[in-house]
Amino acid sequence: MAAQYKFTFGPWNISTGSDPFGPPVRAEVPFASKIAEYKRLGFDGVQFHDDDVVPADLSWAETEKGAKAVKKVLDDEGLFCEFIAPRLWEDHRTIDGAYTSNDPAERKYALDRSKKAVDIAHIMGTKDIVLWLAREGTYIREAKCPVTASQRVLDAVNTLLDHDKTIRILGEMKPNEPTDSAYFPTVGHFLALCYRTMDPARTGVLIESAHSILAGIDPSEDMANALWHNKLWSVHLNDQNGLKYDQDKTFGSVDLRRAFNQVWVLERANYQGCIGLDIKAMRSTKSEHQTAHLSNSLLLFKRLVEVARSVDTAKVEAFRTSRNYEGLELYIINRLMGI
Ligand code: XUL
Ligand code: MN
Protein backbone atom coordinates (compact mmCIF):
# COMPACT_ATOMS: atom_id res chain seq x y z
CA MET A 1 0.00 0.00 0.00
CA ALA A 2 1.17 3.51 -0.89
CA ALA A 3 4.47 2.02 -2.03
CA GLN A 4 5.08 4.83 -4.48
CA TYR A 5 5.19 7.55 -1.80
CA LYS A 6 8.41 8.70 -0.16
CA PHE A 7 7.96 10.17 3.32
CA THR A 8 10.09 12.96 4.80
CA PHE A 9 10.23 15.44 7.66
CA GLY A 10 12.76 17.91 9.04
CA PRO A 11 14.76 17.41 12.25
CA TRP A 12 13.09 20.56 13.68
CA ASN A 13 9.89 18.48 13.90
CA ILE A 14 11.38 16.72 16.94
CA SER A 15 11.51 19.72 19.23
CA THR A 16 11.84 20.87 22.81
CA GLY A 17 8.39 22.45 22.99
CA SER A 18 9.55 26.00 23.65
CA ASP A 19 7.15 28.68 22.41
CA PRO A 20 7.05 32.51 22.53
CA PHE A 21 5.59 32.26 26.04
CA GLY A 22 7.70 29.61 27.67
CA PRO A 23 10.99 27.72 27.72
CA PRO A 24 11.74 24.17 26.55
CA VAL A 25 9.75 21.42 28.27
CA ARG A 26 11.63 18.48 26.75
CA ALA A 27 15.38 17.85 26.49
CA GLU A 28 16.96 18.62 23.11
CA VAL A 29 17.42 15.39 21.16
CA PRO A 30 20.93 15.15 19.63
CA PHE A 31 20.98 15.32 15.82
CA ALA A 32 22.34 11.78 15.44
CA SER A 33 19.52 10.39 17.62
CA LYS A 34 16.93 12.23 15.53
CA ILE A 35 18.36 10.77 12.32
CA ALA A 36 18.31 7.31 13.89
CA GLU A 37 14.54 7.70 14.44
CA TYR A 38 13.61 8.19 10.76
CA LYS A 39 13.55 4.60 9.52
CA ARG A 40 12.01 3.33 12.75
CA LEU A 41 9.15 5.79 12.28
CA GLY A 42 8.67 4.77 8.63
CA PHE A 43 10.34 7.71 6.86
CA ASP A 44 12.68 7.66 3.88
CA GLY A 45 14.26 11.10 3.71
CA VAL A 46 15.23 14.23 5.62
CA GLN A 47 14.40 17.88 4.96
CA PHE A 48 17.09 20.32 6.04
CA HIS A 49 17.58 23.99 6.66
CA ASP A 50 21.13 24.99 5.70
CA ASP A 51 22.11 25.32 9.36
CA ASP A 52 20.53 21.96 10.27
CA VAL A 53 23.44 20.55 8.22
CA VAL A 54 26.25 22.82 9.42
CA PRO A 55 26.23 26.05 11.43
CA ALA A 56 25.82 29.11 9.21
CA ASP A 57 28.78 31.39 8.47
CA LEU A 58 31.55 28.78 8.73
CA SER A 59 34.33 28.98 6.16
CA TRP A 60 33.64 27.05 2.95
CA ALA A 61 36.27 24.43 3.87
CA GLU A 62 34.56 23.80 7.24
CA THR A 63 31.10 23.84 5.63
CA GLU A 64 32.14 21.31 3.00
CA LYS A 65 33.69 19.02 5.60
CA GLY A 66 30.62 19.22 7.85
CA ALA A 67 28.15 18.67 5.00
CA LYS A 68 30.08 15.64 3.75
CA ALA A 69 29.99 14.16 7.25
CA VAL A 70 26.19 14.63 7.48
CA LYS A 71 25.76 13.14 4.00
CA LYS A 72 27.67 10.07 5.20
CA VAL A 73 25.39 9.76 8.24
CA LEU A 74 22.38 9.81 5.88
CA ASP A 75 23.98 7.27 3.53
CA ASP A 76 24.76 4.95 6.44
CA GLU A 77 21.11 5.16 7.57
CA GLY A 78 19.79 4.62 4.01
CA LEU A 79 18.15 8.05 4.00
CA PHE A 80 18.17 10.77 1.34
CA CYS A 81 18.11 14.56 1.67
CA GLU A 82 14.90 15.96 0.16
CA PHE A 83 15.81 19.64 0.13
CA ILE A 84 17.84 22.44 1.65
CA ALA A 85 16.08 25.62 2.85
CA PRO A 86 18.24 28.64 3.72
CA ARG A 87 17.12 29.75 7.20
CA LEU A 88 17.01 33.48 6.54
CA TRP A 89 14.95 34.46 9.55
CA GLU A 90 17.10 33.97 12.67
CA ASP A 91 20.26 35.93 11.94
CA HIS A 92 20.52 39.51 13.25
CA ARG A 93 21.21 40.62 9.65
CA THR A 94 17.73 39.47 8.58
CA ILE A 95 15.71 41.32 11.21
CA ASP A 96 14.24 43.68 8.60
CA GLY A 97 13.93 41.01 5.92
CA ALA A 98 16.47 39.11 3.84
CA TYR A 99 16.09 39.60 0.07
CA THR A 100 13.77 42.57 0.74
CA SER A 101 15.68 44.30 3.53
CA ASN A 102 16.05 48.04 3.02
CA ASP A 103 19.79 47.65 3.79
CA PRO A 104 21.92 46.58 0.77
CA ALA A 105 24.53 44.92 3.02
CA GLU A 106 21.81 42.76 4.57
CA ARG A 107 20.40 41.85 1.16
CA LYS A 108 23.91 40.79 0.14
CA TYR A 109 24.23 38.61 3.25
CA ALA A 110 20.93 36.91 2.38
CA LEU A 111 22.03 36.21 -1.19
CA ASP A 112 25.49 34.99 -0.21
CA ARG A 113 24.01 32.69 2.41
CA SER A 114 21.43 31.36 -0.07
CA LYS A 115 24.11 30.62 -2.66
CA LYS A 116 26.02 28.74 0.02
CA ALA A 117 22.84 26.78 0.80
CA VAL A 118 22.73 25.77 -2.88
CA ASP A 119 26.34 24.55 -2.62
CA ILE A 120 25.43 22.58 0.52
CA ALA A 121 22.50 21.04 -1.39
CA HIS A 122 24.97 19.90 -4.04
CA ILE A 123 27.01 18.02 -1.43
CA MET A 124 23.85 16.58 0.14
CA GLY A 125 22.77 15.17 -3.22
CA THR A 126 19.60 17.18 -3.73
CA LYS A 127 18.63 19.68 -6.42
CA ASP A 128 15.73 21.19 -4.47
CA ILE A 129 15.98 24.49 -2.61
CA VAL A 130 12.96 25.54 -0.56
CA LEU A 131 12.38 29.23 0.08
CA TRP A 132 10.04 30.03 2.93
CA LEU A 133 10.13 33.84 2.72
CA ALA A 134 9.66 34.27 6.46
CA ARG A 135 10.71 37.88 6.88
CA GLU A 136 9.98 39.12 3.36
CA GLY A 137 7.12 41.34 4.43
CA THR A 138 6.31 44.17 6.78
CA TYR A 139 4.56 45.09 9.99
CA ILE A 140 3.40 48.38 8.44
CA ARG A 141 2.74 49.07 4.76
CA GLU A 142 4.98 52.15 4.56
CA ALA A 143 8.10 50.44 5.96
CA LYS A 144 9.27 49.18 2.56
CA CYS A 145 8.25 49.66 -1.04
CA PRO A 146 6.16 46.53 -1.75
CA VAL A 147 6.62 46.86 -5.53
CA THR A 148 10.41 47.02 -5.19
CA ALA A 149 10.18 44.09 -2.78
CA SER A 150 8.46 41.93 -5.40
CA GLN A 151 11.27 42.65 -7.85
CA ARG A 152 13.89 41.88 -5.19
CA VAL A 153 12.38 38.46 -4.57
CA LEU A 154 12.40 37.75 -8.32
CA ASP A 155 16.02 38.95 -8.57
CA ALA A 156 17.00 36.66 -5.68
CA VAL A 157 15.35 33.61 -7.29
CA ASN A 158 17.11 34.40 -10.59
CA THR A 159 20.45 34.80 -8.82
CA LEU A 160 20.10 31.31 -7.36
CA LEU A 161 18.92 29.75 -10.63
CA ASP A 162 21.94 31.30 -12.30
CA HIS A 163 24.34 30.27 -9.53
CA ASP A 164 23.69 26.57 -10.20
CA LYS A 165 21.98 25.61 -13.46
CA THR A 166 20.83 22.24 -12.08
CA ILE A 167 18.81 23.33 -9.03
CA ARG A 168 15.07 23.84 -8.67
CA ILE A 169 13.57 26.55 -6.47
CA LEU A 170 10.41 25.67 -4.52
CA GLY A 171 8.54 28.59 -2.94
CA GLU A 172 6.75 27.75 0.33
CA MET A 173 4.24 30.56 0.78
CA LYS A 174 2.52 31.68 3.96
CA PRO A 175 0.40 34.85 4.31
CA ASN A 176 1.54 36.00 7.75
CA GLU A 177 3.65 35.08 10.81
CA PRO A 178 6.27 36.19 11.60
CA THR A 179 5.51 39.32 9.53
CA ASP A 180 2.03 40.79 9.63
CA SER A 181 1.89 41.10 5.87
CA ALA A 182 3.99 38.80 3.69
CA TYR A 183 5.08 39.52 0.14
CA PHE A 184 3.93 36.70 -2.17
CA PRO A 185 1.42 35.57 0.49
CA THR A 186 -0.11 32.64 -1.39
CA VAL A 187 0.89 29.79 -3.67
CA GLY A 188 -0.80 31.61 -6.56
CA HIS A 189 1.41 34.67 -6.07
CA PHE A 190 4.54 32.53 -6.27
CA LEU A 191 3.30 30.57 -9.29
CA ALA A 192 2.93 33.87 -11.12
CA LEU A 193 6.52 34.75 -10.15
CA CYS A 194 7.74 31.36 -11.49
CA TYR A 195 6.79 32.35 -15.03
CA ARG A 196 8.80 35.59 -14.80
CA THR A 197 12.03 33.88 -13.74
CA MET A 198 14.94 33.17 -16.08
CA ASP A 199 13.98 29.47 -16.06
CA PRO A 200 10.30 28.78 -15.27
CA ALA A 201 10.88 25.02 -15.68
CA ARG A 202 13.10 25.09 -12.56
CA THR A 203 10.72 27.03 -10.32
CA GLY A 204 7.74 25.56 -8.51
CA VAL A 205 6.14 25.23 -5.10
CA LEU A 206 6.01 23.30 -1.85
CA ILE A 207 2.50 23.59 -0.41
CA GLU A 208 1.94 23.45 3.33
CA SER A 209 -1.62 22.63 4.39
CA ALA A 210 -1.65 25.09 7.31
CA HIS A 211 -0.31 27.95 5.18
CA SER A 212 -3.11 27.58 2.63
CA ILE A 213 -5.68 27.39 5.43
CA LEU A 214 -4.26 30.60 6.96
CA ALA A 215 -4.78 32.24 3.55
CA GLY A 216 -8.41 31.08 3.58
CA ILE A 217 -7.78 28.54 0.81
CA ASP A 218 -8.54 24.83 0.96
CA PRO A 219 -5.09 23.19 0.64
CA SER A 220 -6.42 20.65 -1.86
CA GLU A 221 -7.46 23.56 -4.10
CA ASP A 222 -3.95 25.03 -3.99
CA MET A 223 -2.46 21.57 -4.61
CA ALA A 224 -4.74 20.82 -7.55
CA ASN A 225 -3.94 24.13 -9.22
CA ALA A 226 -0.19 23.69 -8.73
CA LEU A 227 -0.46 20.14 -10.11
CA TRP A 228 -2.14 21.57 -13.21
CA HIS A 229 0.91 23.84 -13.62
CA ASN A 230 3.19 20.76 -13.15
CA LYS A 231 4.75 22.75 -10.33
CA LEU A 232 3.74 20.86 -7.18
CA TRP A 233 7.11 19.44 -6.22
CA SER A 234 6.67 18.93 -2.47
CA VAL A 235 4.13 19.22 0.33
CA HIS A 236 4.17 19.93 4.04
CA LEU A 237 1.12 18.09 5.27
CA ASN A 238 -0.28 19.14 8.64
CA ASP A 239 -3.49 20.63 10.05
CA GLN A 240 -4.72 23.91 11.44
CA ASN A 241 -7.58 24.80 13.78
CA GLY A 242 -8.96 27.99 12.23
CA LEU A 243 -7.28 31.33 11.63
CA LYS A 244 -4.82 31.37 14.52
CA TYR A 245 -1.04 31.25 14.70
CA ASP A 246 0.56 28.60 12.44
CA GLN A 247 -0.24 25.49 14.46
CA ASP A 248 1.37 22.66 12.46
CA LYS A 249 -0.98 20.08 13.97
CA THR A 250 -1.05 16.36 13.18
CA PHE A 251 -2.32 15.73 9.64
CA GLY A 252 -6.07 15.09 9.69
CA SER A 253 -6.41 15.84 13.39
CA VAL A 254 -8.68 18.89 12.95
CA ASP A 255 -10.59 18.24 9.75
CA LEU A 256 -10.46 14.69 8.44
CA ARG A 257 -12.50 15.57 5.36
CA ARG A 258 -10.11 18.40 4.46
CA ALA A 259 -7.18 15.98 4.89
CA PHE A 260 -8.96 13.43 2.71
CA ASN A 261 -9.44 16.08 0.00
CA GLN A 262 -5.67 16.58 -0.13
CA VAL A 263 -4.98 12.84 -0.36
CA TRP A 264 -7.71 12.45 -3.00
CA VAL A 265 -6.19 15.21 -5.15
CA LEU A 266 -2.61 13.89 -4.79
CA GLU A 267 -3.69 10.31 -5.51
CA ARG A 268 -5.80 11.08 -8.53
CA ALA A 269 -3.26 13.45 -10.09
CA ASN A 270 -0.50 10.85 -9.67
CA TYR A 271 1.59 13.28 -7.61
CA GLN A 272 5.28 12.40 -7.90
CA GLY A 273 6.89 14.48 -5.12
CA CYS A 274 7.68 13.49 -1.54
CA ILE A 275 5.04 13.38 1.17
CA GLY A 276 6.69 15.80 3.57
CA LEU A 277 5.35 16.57 7.01
CA ASP A 278 5.85 19.79 8.96
CA ILE A 279 4.29 19.07 12.32
CA LYS A 280 4.89 20.19 15.89
CA ALA A 281 4.27 18.05 18.93
CA MET A 282 1.89 19.67 21.41
CA ARG A 283 3.86 21.52 24.07
CA SER A 284 2.26 19.29 26.70
CA THR A 285 3.78 16.17 25.09
CA LYS A 286 6.08 14.09 27.31
CA SER A 287 9.52 13.14 25.97
CA GLU A 288 8.53 9.50 25.61
CA HIS A 289 5.79 10.52 23.13
CA GLN A 290 7.72 13.19 21.26
CA THR A 291 7.59 11.52 17.86
CA ALA A 292 3.95 10.36 18.02
CA HIS A 293 2.73 13.38 15.99
CA LEU A 294 4.94 12.17 13.12
CA SER A 295 4.04 8.49 13.21
CA ASN A 296 0.35 9.34 13.74
CA SER A 297 0.34 11.70 10.74
CA LEU A 298 1.97 9.03 8.60
CA LEU A 299 -0.60 6.46 9.74
CA LEU A 300 -3.50 8.83 9.04
CA PHE A 301 -2.11 9.67 5.59
CA LYS A 302 -1.79 5.97 4.72
CA ARG A 303 -5.31 5.23 5.98
CA LEU A 304 -6.69 8.08 3.89
CA VAL A 305 -4.85 6.68 0.86
CA GLU A 306 -6.63 3.38 1.52
CA VAL A 307 -9.96 5.20 1.69
CA ALA A 308 -9.22 7.12 -1.52
CA ARG A 309 -8.35 3.86 -3.28
CA SER A 310 -11.49 2.16 -1.96
CA VAL A 311 -13.75 4.73 -3.62
CA ASP A 312 -15.66 3.17 -6.50
CA THR A 313 -14.95 5.53 -9.41
CA ALA A 314 -17.93 4.20 -11.38
CA LYS A 315 -20.15 5.26 -8.49
CA VAL A 316 -18.51 8.70 -8.44
CA GLU A 317 -19.13 9.04 -12.18
CA ALA A 318 -22.78 8.01 -11.75
CA PHE A 319 -23.25 10.62 -9.00
CA ARG A 320 -21.62 13.24 -11.25
CA THR A 321 -23.74 12.33 -14.27
CA SER A 322 -26.95 12.56 -12.29
CA ARG A 323 -25.67 15.76 -10.58
CA ASN A 324 -26.40 14.06 -7.25
CA TYR A 325 -23.75 15.74 -5.15
CA GLU A 326 -25.68 15.17 -1.91
CA GLY A 327 -25.47 11.47 -2.69
CA LEU A 328 -21.77 11.77 -3.54
CA GLU A 329 -21.13 13.65 -0.30
CA LEU A 330 -22.74 10.92 1.80
CA TYR A 331 -20.92 8.22 -0.16
CA ILE A 332 -17.52 9.86 0.55
CA ILE A 333 -18.33 10.48 4.21
CA ASN A 334 -19.50 6.89 4.58
CA ARG A 335 -16.19 5.70 3.09
CA LEU A 336 -14.39 7.88 5.65
CA MET A 337 -16.43 6.33 8.43
CA GLY A 338 -15.73 2.83 7.13
CA ILE A 339 -19.33 2.27 6.05
C1 XUL B 1 7.23 27.85 8.65
C2 XUL B 1 7.53 26.64 7.94
C3 XUL B 1 8.97 26.29 7.87
C4 XUL B 1 9.38 25.75 6.58
C5 XUL B 1 10.82 25.35 6.48
O6 XUL B 1 5.90 28.08 8.82
O7 XUL B 1 6.65 25.95 7.51
O8 XUL B 1 9.23 25.32 8.82
O9 XUL B 1 8.64 24.61 6.32
O10 XUL B 1 11.64 26.40 6.48
MN1 MN C 1 6.61 24.18 6.32
Rg of the chain, C-alpha, whole Å: 20
pLDDT tens digits for range 126-180: 999 999 999 999 999 999 999 999 999 999 999 999 999 999 999 999 999 999 9
Closest CA to 134 of 189, 180, 202: 180
Q: Cα of 15 to ligand 2 centre, how many Å?
A: 15
If you take atom 3 of ligand 1, which residue's CA is the nearest one?
132
Q: Cα of 278 to ligand 2 centre, how many Å?
A: 5
> From the alpha carbon of 206, which atom of ligand 1 is closest?
9
Catalytic residue set: 49, 52
If you take atom 10 of ligand 1, which residue's CA is the nearest one?
132
Q: Is the dihedral of CA 116, 121, 122, 127 positive or negative?
A: negative
> From the alpha carbon of 47, which atom of ligand 1 is closest?
5
Domain boundaries, the chain: 7-308
Find the ligand nearest to 179 CA.
Answer: 1
Q: Cα of 337 to ligand 1 centre, how many Å?
A: 32
Phi/psi region, residue 271 (left: phi>0; alpha: psi -120 to 50; beta: rest), is: beta
If you take atom 2 of ligand 1, which residue's CA is the nearest one?
132
Rounded-to-integer distance, Cα 153 and Cα 334, Å: 46
pLDDT tens digits for range 230-257: 999 999 999 999 999 999 999 999 999 9
pLDDT tens digits for range 287-309: 999 999 999 999 999 999 999 99
Length of the chain: 339
Position 144, amino acid = K
Q: How much is the mean pLDDT over the chain?
A: 97
Closest CA to 133 of 86, 180, 198: 86
Q: ∠ CA(43), CA(49), CA(22), 5° rounding?
A: 90
- 7-308 is classed in which CATH architecture? Alpha-Beta Barrel (3.20)
Q: Cα of 276 to ligand 2 centre, how many Å?
A: 9
Q: Tell me, yes or no, if the pTM score tops 0.95.
A: yes
Find the ligand nearest to 85 CA.
Answer: 1
Rounded-to-integer distance, Cα 298 and Cα 43, Å: 9
| CA 1 to the chain's CA centroid | 24
Q: Which of 236, 240, 246, 247 to mutate to test the pocket of ligand 1 (most atoms within 8 A of CB)?
A: 236
Contact 265, 220 (CB under 8 A): yes
If you take atom 8 of ligand 1, which residue's CA is the nearest one?
278
Q: Cα of 143 to ligand 1 centre, how many Å?
A: 24
Q: Which of 14, 169, 177, 208 to mutate to test the pocket of ligand 1 (most atoms within 8 A of CB)?
A: 208
pLDDT tens digits for range 82-126: 999 999 999 999 999 999 999 999 999 999 999 999 999 999 999
Burial class from Cβ neighbours inside 10 Å (0-12, 13-18, 19+) for residue 323 reads exposed
